[in-house]
């Protein structure tokens, strides 16, 4: 019974660790030190191209809220610089947007003329973020009563239990 409890606790810990690892995405400050503002026309395109975005990552928009805002729009709104049908709007000057799905995201500034001048951002989200489970370190097989190999998940559970 005690051993079953330990195994269950070990498995729970393992699952918690895996889910924690999955929920921590990267945080990207949009525009880096320039922030969210009017730059040259291709600035944000170039900025986004240099990154690889995944579900769980966070986009941080920093800007002067007296001058700019952030409007999430659809593809058409992005290309036409039209903020009339916003998906979401932000105006605190320090807004975090978490990428929730692998759909592409489009943001523009709602201040007249800013999007046209290049304050627009398209985020292409990479499909399928396969959770990276590091391979367990080599195991001394003598430590296993049965010897031989074991299924990967069982090995990991045994390793986790061994941490207790």
What are the residues binding Cu ion (CB under 5 A)? 68, 109, 111, 114, 119
How many whole angstroms separate alpha carbon 153 and alpha carbon 62? 43
**Shortest reach from residue 69's CB to Cu ion, in Å:** 7
How many whole angstroms separate alpha carbon 109 and alpha carbon 70? 5
Nearer Cβ to Cu ion (39/111): 111
Nearer Cβ to Cu ion (62/68): 68
Nearer Cβ to Cu ion (14/44): 44
Q: Three-state SS string across the chain, please?
A: CHHHHHHHHHHHHHHHHHHHHHHCCCEEECCHHHCCCCCCCCHHHHHHHCCCECCCCEEEEECCCCCCCEEEECHHHHHHCCCCCCCEEECCCEEEEECCCCCCEEEECCCCCCCCCCCEEEECECCCCCCCCCCCCCCCHHHCCCCCCCCHHHHHHHHHHHHC
**Shortest reach from residue 40's CB to Cu ion, in Å:** 14
**Shortest reach from residue 53's CB to Cu ion, in Å:** 22
**Shortest reach from residue 90's CB to Cu ion, in Å:** 12
Nearer Cβ to Cu ion (14/107): 107
**Shortest reach from residue 19's CB to Cu ion, in Å:** 37
Nearer Cβ to Cu ion (82/111): 111
Nearest Cα to Cα of residue 131 among 40, 19, 16: 19
């Amino acid at each position: 019974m005690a051993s079953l409890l330990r195994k269950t606790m070990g498995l729970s810990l393992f699952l918690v660790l895996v889910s924690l690892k999955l929920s921590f995405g990267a945080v990207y400050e949009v525009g880096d030190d320039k922030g969210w503002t009017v730059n040259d026309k291709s600035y944000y395109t170039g900025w986004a191209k240099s990154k690889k975005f995944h579900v769980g990552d966070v986009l941080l928009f920093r800007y002067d809220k007296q001058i700019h805002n952030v409007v999430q729009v659809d593809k058409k709104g992005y290309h036409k610089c039209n903020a009339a049908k916003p998906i979401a709007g932000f105006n605190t000057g320090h807004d975090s947007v978490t990428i929730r799905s692998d759909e592409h995201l489009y943001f523009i500034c709602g201040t007249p003329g800013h999007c046209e001048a290049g304050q627009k951002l398209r985020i292409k989200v990479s499909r399928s973020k396969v959770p990276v489970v590091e391979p367990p370190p080599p195991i001394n097989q003598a430590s296993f009563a049965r010897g031989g190999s074991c299924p990967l998940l069982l090995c990991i559970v045994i390793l986790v239990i061994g941490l207790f």
